[in-house]
Amino acid sequence: MAKAKQSTKDETRTIKIFDTTLRDGEQAPGNSMNIEEKLRFAKQLQKLNVDVIEAGFPIASEGDFEAVKKVAQSIKGPEIAGLCRSNLKDIDRAWEALKYAGEKGRIHTFIATSDIHMKYKLQMEPAQVLESAVKAVKRAAGYTPNVEFSCEDAVRTQLPFLAQVVEAVIAAGATTVNIPDTVGYTVPFEYFNIIKYLKDNVPNIEKAVISVHCHNDLGLSVANSIAAIQAGAGQVECTINGIGERAGNCSLEEFVMILRTRRDILPFVTGIATEQLTPASRLLTNITGIAVQPNKSVVGANAFAHEAGIHQHGMLMDKSTYEIMTPESVGLTASALVLGKHSGRHAFKKRLEELGHDLDDEMLNRAFERFKALADLKKEVFDEDLDAIVTDESREEDQYKLEHITVTCGSFAVATATVQMEINGKPVRTAELGDGPVDSAFKAIRKLTKTKAKLTQYNVGSITGGTDAQGEVTVRVEEGGHTVVGKGASTDIIVASAKAYIHALNRLHCKQKRLTDAV
């Protein structure tokens, strides 16, 4: 057997990281973000040093258009992409938002190329699809030389037709061609062969960067992305925490840390500031309210936890026995206790920045007041507590606001909740009975807000340890086919529950309003 060729520094190839958390990631149920939340996260992606930020789908709604526009205006460094279908109206609208990024603006247009999509979804012949693809790329290239074209459902596309489309769009002006596994169907060796086929059969393939966009329906998105770059792909499209449609996308943190950890056999590098991975993951969780599972690679709570005696013994002797990367390399710190009631504003601000939070002066002042109040209640204030404070203070202008809540209950008493809220600036108050303290509180809130939304999920967790820990509540509500997640935290679990429910109702209201405005 031939000996594997040892890679050299000169052979090391840089892989572009295209982050689509704000577009494909946001499309997952419960992950929707408003404009300010998108901008907050884009600023963290800037710190992470991703190459491209796909900020949204400009023609999808007025809110999405404004979000892409604001990101294009505000973010410096990464390229800013906007997705659009292969039609002229979509492309024109995308450039209206992206033009503020100048030469960093990227138009990303697509059309499906697989037989099943062409027949059932598009109801178009291959020749029509090819014509539409070329026409779209030419239109986009008229605005900017930074054009990406995607063959949707590429892995189920007939290879000769796929090669024909790729050659044609490159000739029309595409400088990046994306070969996505749209439905998470392929496996590594097959994906490797698809990319290799294009490298071998598209005459002008060297004039464009080959990009890959893998979904995780079979749990292979990261493995497939690795196979693709081994075959010659130069850009990987991924998301923080692997969020996205259905089972999600290739996880950015997993892909990047695989390359960093296995440099011995994978001669690839990225420009990612890996110390910003954990802050990015935590910020996304705080924005969406969707927690990362504890055993998640790289950023999960247990990723660097060791419980078994044998493992602990090994760690005490030498950390490399059971850790293939250091916690510090992904942005974790050894110290759990961050601040206390005697801490000042400067230290508070610095720690928030380390956690990935970029607050203006007004928001910082409100958060600092909340921190001081919490520090008086708790012996220790942890990073997770700070995340919860910032989440509360950075929310959009709410239609519904909680002012006071009082609950009486016990084993021989019917639970009664008295809730006072502010709705559209006006104070309202009511009391309701319920099967328990949370039920009675939610009934009172429903009565005041007149909501018809259905509560579909209610989860309670402790942010940190100890009897004085803040309780964190996550709820999911649904109305009219729209589902949102709400999150609340407090040392009083009933208050946390009320905050989470009201947060969800506010998000639902904003989502419905944006959809109405877009019509």
Q: Which residues line the annotated binding site for Mn(2+)? A: 24, 213, 215, 249
Question: In one letter, which amino acid is 489?
Answer: A
Give the C-alpha separation, 438 to 303, whole Å: 33
Could you give the residue ranges of the DSSP H alpha helices within 49-146?
62-74, 88-98, 115-116, 126-141
Q: How far is CA 144 from the centre of its chain?
A: 27
As to burial, measured by CB atoms within 10 angstroms (0-12 exposed, 13-18 middle, 19+ buried), residue 437 is buried
Give the C-alpha separation, 58 to 67, whole Å: 8
Give the C-alpha separation, 439 to 441, whole Å: 5
Q: Which residues make up each annotated binding site?
A: 24, 213, 215, 249
Helix (H, G, I), strand (E, B) or coil at 13: strand
Contacts with 279 (C-beta within 8 Å, 6 or more apart), sequence order: 44, 47, 331, 354, 355, 356
Query: Is 82:116 a contact under the CB 8 Å cutoff?
Result: no
DSSP 193-225: HHHHHHHHH-TTGGGSEEEEEBB-TTS-HHHHH
Which 8-state DSSP code applies to residue 181?
Answer: B
Give the C-alpha separation, 255 to 274, whole Å: 11
The structure tokens listed for 70 are: 């604001």
Give the C-alpha separation, 276 to 49, whole Å: 9
Q: Where are the beta strands (DSSP E) in 272-378?
A: 337-339
Query: Is 488:460 a contact under the CB 8 Å cutoff?
Result: no
Alpha-carbon dihedral angle through residues 489, 495, 500, 505, given to the nearest 10 degrees? -150
